[in-house]
């Protein structure tokens, strides 16, 4: 799945990416407690991915890149369950204190380059 940048909307207030055929949206929204990473079907509230990345902006690009990398071989006609299954938190609630390193492990240079992380 490939994405292109689009205008922010109420569900993706800081960054909004739309898949090639406009089936999926992926992006970020800033809240008082930190930045949320979100993904869902276009035009609907995000239900596939929705977790807080904390306030350390240095880690946001690495997380976004790792998610995009995992989504790259997935076709747009997949179900929410199929997409959820490609992530380390499959079937559970994402928790960066547990899932960050497994998420980034496919892109080893990101782990070496990331700043010390605090998610809250």
Higher pLDDT, 54 or 107: 54
pLDDT of residue 112: 44
List CB contacts of 102: < 8 A, sequence separation 6 or more: 88
Write the burial class of residue 7 (CB in 10 Å: 0-12 exposed, 13-18 middle, 19+ buried): exposed
Higher pLDDT, 116 or 86: 86
Confidence of residue 113 (pLDDT cuts 50, 70, 90): very low
pLDDT of residue 109: 56
Three-state secondary structure call for residue 4: strand
Give the pLDDT confidence of 56-97 residue by residue, as tens digits.
999 999 999 999 999 999 999 999 999 999 998 888 888 887
How far is the C-alpha of 55 from the C-alpha of 40, rounded, in Å?
22
pLDDT of residue 93: 81
pLDDT of residue 117: 45
For the chain, domain boundaries? 3-113
First to last CA, the chain: 30
Higher pLDDT, 100 or 15: 15
Is the alpha carbon torsion for 105, 106, 108, 113 positive or negative? negative
pLDDT of residue 101: 86
Beta bridge partners of 15: 28
């Amino acid at each position: 799945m490939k994405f292109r940048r689009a205008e922010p909307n109420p569900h993706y207030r800081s960054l909004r990416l739309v898949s090639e055929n406009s089936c999926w949206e992926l992006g970020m929204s800033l809240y008082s407690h930190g930045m949320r990473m979100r993904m869902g079907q276009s035009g609907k509230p995000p239900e596939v991915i929705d977790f807080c990345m904390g306030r350390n902006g240095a880690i946001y690009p690495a997380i976004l890149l790792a998610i995009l990398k995992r989504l790259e071989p997935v076709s747009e006609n997949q179900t929410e369950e199929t997409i959820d299954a490609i992530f380390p938190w499959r079937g559970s609630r994402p928790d960066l204190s547990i899932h960050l390193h497994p998420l980034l492990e496919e892109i080893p240079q990101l782990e070496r380059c990331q700043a010390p992380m605090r998610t809250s």
